[in-house]
Chains A and B, each alone.
Chain A
Amino acid sequence: MAVTKKNQKHRDLAQILSAASCALIAGTSPAVNAAESWDVDSAFLLYSESDGRVSAAEPVISATKNYDEETKLNFKLVADTLTGASPNGATPGDHVQTFTRPSGNGSYDVAASEQPLDDTFRDTRIALSTNWSAPINRDWAYGVGGYLSSEHDYQSVGVNSSLSRYLNQKNATLTLGLNLSNDTITPEGGVPTSLVQMPLSSTDSEFSQRSDSESKSLVDAVFGVTQVINRRTIMQFNYALSTSSGYLTDPYKIISVIDDNAGANFGGNFQSNGRDLYLYEKRPDSRLKQSLYWQTKYQLDNNDILDLSYRYMFDDWGISSHTIDAKYRFRFDKQYLEPQLRWYTQSKADFYHRYLNASNYTDVDFASADYRLGDLDTYTIGLKYGYKFADETEFYTRFSLYHQESSGDKGYGKLASQDLYPSMDAAMFIAGYKF
C-alpha cells in the first residue's frame, strides 16, 4: 500500500514537473493542466543593464501541494544565467589601464576615461528549495524549509523554520522566523590577499600563497506582527536581525591608489613596482543588519488594491537605507493593471572609499570601492498586467525600468575630470503563469 502511494506521489511529481517545464517553454499553452492537488507557479525573468553590463535570464518553477487550507509542501527550482561586464572598483584614468584577470591568466585593457569593467563576468546558478508548513493546533502553526544553491565559484546551503501564534480570532498573528545558512566561496584564481597590490599574473608569488576557498555563515531572525485592521485593510510590522560572519569581502573587487603628491601626476594613478597600484579590497569579517518593515494592503470600494510598504535598514558597517514601494492594482473583470513605484536610498559604509591616497593607503584596515556600499539612490518604475483565465489560473507580465545614481567624493587634480559615479539603467521583463 505504502509503495503504491509512493509511486502515485512520484507519478504526480513527474507529471507536474513535465507539465511545468512545458509551460516554461510553451508559455501559456492551454493544453497544460496539472493534477488538481498541485498549484504551479512559473515565471521567466529577463534582466538587462545598459552599456553592455550584466544581463540575466532566470526561469523559476514552484510547485505547491495543498493537503488542506493550511498544510502545504512546496518545491522551488531556480536557474540563473549571467553574462556581461561588472565594475571592478578601479577609477577611470587619464591613460589606458591594464588589469590582471581574476584567474591570473592574461589581462584586459580599459581605455582612458572609461569606466573599468571586468568583462569576464559569467555565471550559471541553480537553486533548489523546499518548504513545509502546517498547523500545530487552532492557535499555532509552524514551517520548516531547506535550501541549496550552486554556481561555479559559490555554494550555499541553508535551513529555516518559523512559528506562528494566532490571536483574537486570527485577527492578529505573531510570527518568529529563523534562517541559518553557510556559504562557500571558491573564487576564480583563488582567494586574493586583501589590501595587497594586484599582481601581474599567476606566476607571481601572491597567487601561490592563496587559499582555494573561504566561507561565511549567516543567521537571520524575523519577528513579525500581522494585524487585520478592518474588512478591507491588513497591516504588517516586522523587525529583522541578520548577522553574517566569515569572508564578506568581494574577491573580484579592487581599489585604485591615487597620487596625492604635488606635481605633474597630482590626482593620477600612483605607481608602485613600475605600474599603477590597485589593491584587493577588504571588508570586516562580520556584519550585523537590522531592519524595520511596515506594509499595508487596502482594498478600495471599487475593488482596486493599494499596497504600500516602507523599510528602514541599518547595520554596523555604517550603512542605513530607506525603501518605499507602492503598487496600485486597477481591477477589471478578469484582468488587472498594476503600476509600481519603488524608491531606495542608502548611505555609504564607513570603509567605502572611491579610491585611496598614496600618502596613507597603508594605514587603512578595511577598504572597498564597491559602488553597492557607497551613497546610492535607486528608482524602479514598473507596470504589470494580469489575466485570470479561471480560478487560480493566471498569466501575468511585468515590465520595469531600474535606475541607479551614485554620489560621493569627486577626487582632485587629474581625477576630478573623470566620471567617478556613472549612473546605471536596467530593464526587467517578467512573464509568469500560475495554474
Chain B
Amino acid sequence: MRTLISAVAFLTISIAVTGCSDLGVKPWERDILAQQEMNLISDPIESSLNDHIYFSKEASSGGQGFGGGGCGCN
C-alpha cells in the first residue's frame, strides 16, 4: 500500500516539477490516444453497473465520476 502511495506521490511530484507544458503530444501524434479503448472510461455501461454494485455493498462511492446513488440499496 505504502509503495503505491509513494509511486503516486512520485508521479505527481515529477509532473509538478517538470511542468505540465513539457507533457503531451502534438495534434498529429494522437493516433493511439484517439482509440476508443484509450478513453479513461471506455465502457460507460459496464462502469455504471460496477459502480451500482459497489455502491450498494460498500461505504464508498464515486471518485471517477459521481458513482452509484439514486437507489434505496444503501
- Tell whether, in the assembled complex, residue A305 and residue B37 are in contact, meaning their CB atoms are under 8 Å apart: yes
Decide yes or no whether A236 CB sits under 8 A from chain B: yes
Shortest Cβ distance from residue B64 to the other chain A in the assembled complex, whole angstroms: 6
A430 and B29 contact, Cβ closer than 8 Å, known pairs A127-B70, A168-B20, A227-B23 = no
- Tell whether, in the assembled complex, residue B40 and residue A291 are in contact, meaning their CB atoms are under 8 Å apart: no
Shortest Cβ distance from residue B42 to the other chain A in the assembled complex, whole angstroms: 8
Decide yes or no whether A133 CB sits under 8 A from chain B: no
A332-365 vs B, Cβ < 8 Å mask (1 yes, 0 no):
0000100000001010010000000000000000
Residues of B with C-beta under 8 A to A243: none
CB proximity to B under 8 Å, residues A256-315: 289, 291-295, 297, 299, 305, 309-311, 313, 315
Residues of A with C-beta under 8 A to B45: 41-43, 60, 62, 432
Query: Could you tell me the distance between the alpha carbons of A169 and B28 in the complex, rounded to whole angstroms?
Result: 11
CB proximity to A under 8 Å, residues B1-36: 1, 4, 8, 11-12, 15, 20-21, 23-27, 29-33, 35-36
Decide yes or no whether A137 CB sits under 8 A from chain B: no
Residues of B with C-beta under 8 A to A323: 60, 63
Residue of B nearest to A349 (CB): B59
Query: Could you tell me the distance between the alpha carbons of A432 and B43 in the complex, rounded to whole angstroms?
Result: 10
Query: Could you tell me the distance between the alpha carbons of A80 and B73 in the complex, rounded to whole angstroms?
Result: 11
Residue of B nearest to A49 (CB): B57
Decide yes or no whether A402 CB sits under 8 A from chain B: yes
- Tell whether, in the assembled complex, residue B58 and residue A376 are in contact, meaning their CB atoms are under 8 Å apart: yes
Residues of A with C-beta under 8 A to B60: 289, 291, 311, 313, 319, 321, 323, 344, 346
- Tell whether, in the assembled complex, residue A373 and residue B59 are in contact, meaning their CB atoms are under 8 Å apart: yes
Residue of A nearest to B1 (CB): A322
Decide yes or no whether A171 CB sits under 8 A from chain B: yes
Decide yes or no whether A58 CB sits under 8 A from chain B: yes
A172 and B59 contact, Cβ closer than 8 Å, known pairs A60-B45, A149-B70 = no
- Tell whether, in the assembled complex, residue B24 and residue A432 are in contact, meaning their CB atoms are under 8 Å apart: no
Which of A28-36, A152-160, A192-200 contacts the other chain?
A152-160
- Tell whether, in the assembled complex, residue B25 and residue A231 are in contact, meaning their CB atoms are under 8 Å apart: yes
Assign chain A's interface to a size class.
35 or more
- Tell whether, in the assembled complex, residue A299 and residue B49 are in contact, meaning their CB atoms are under 8 Å apart: no
Query: Could you tell me the distance between the alpha carbons of A158 and B72 in the complex, rounded to whole angstroms?
Result: 15
- Tell whether, in the assembled complex, residue A43 and residue B49 are in contact, meaning their CB atoms are under 8 Å apart: yes
Residue among B27, B33, B35, B54 with the most chain A CB within 10 A?
A: B33
A212-237 vs B, Cβ < 8 Å mask (1 yes, 0 no):
00000010101000111111101111
- Tell whether, in the assembled complex, residue B59 and residue A168 are in contact, meaning their CB atoms are under 8 Å apart: no
- Tell whether, in the assembled complex, residue B63 and residue A311 are in contact, meaning their CB atoms are under 8 Å apart: yes
Partner of A169, one of B12, B26, B49: B26
19 more A-B residue pairs beyond the given contacts A127-B71, A177-B66, A229-B23, with a C-beta to C-beta distance below 8 A: A43-B45, A45-B49, A60-B49, A169-B27, A172-B20, A179-B66, A183-B70, A228-B25, A230-B23, A231-B25, A231-B31, A232-B32, A234-B38, A234-B40, A236-B40, A297-B38, A297-B40, A310-B4, A346-B59
A residues bordering B, Cβ < 8 Å? 41-43, 45, 47, 58, 60, 62, 78, 80, 82, 123, 125, 127, 147, 149, 151, 153-154, 156, 158, 160, 167-172, 177, 179, 181, 183, 185, 218, 220, 222, 226-232, 234-238, 240, 242, 289, 291-295, 297, 299, 305, 309-311, 313, 315, 319, 321-324, 329, 331, 336, 344, 346, 349, 372-373, 376, 378, 392, 396, 398, 402, 404, 428, 430, 432
Q: What are 13 sample pairs from A and B whose C-beta atoms fall under 8 A apart?
A: A127-B70, A149-B71, A151-B71, A231-B32, A289-B60, A310-B4, A311-B63, A323-B63, A336-B37, A344-B60, A373-B59, A396-B43, A430-B49
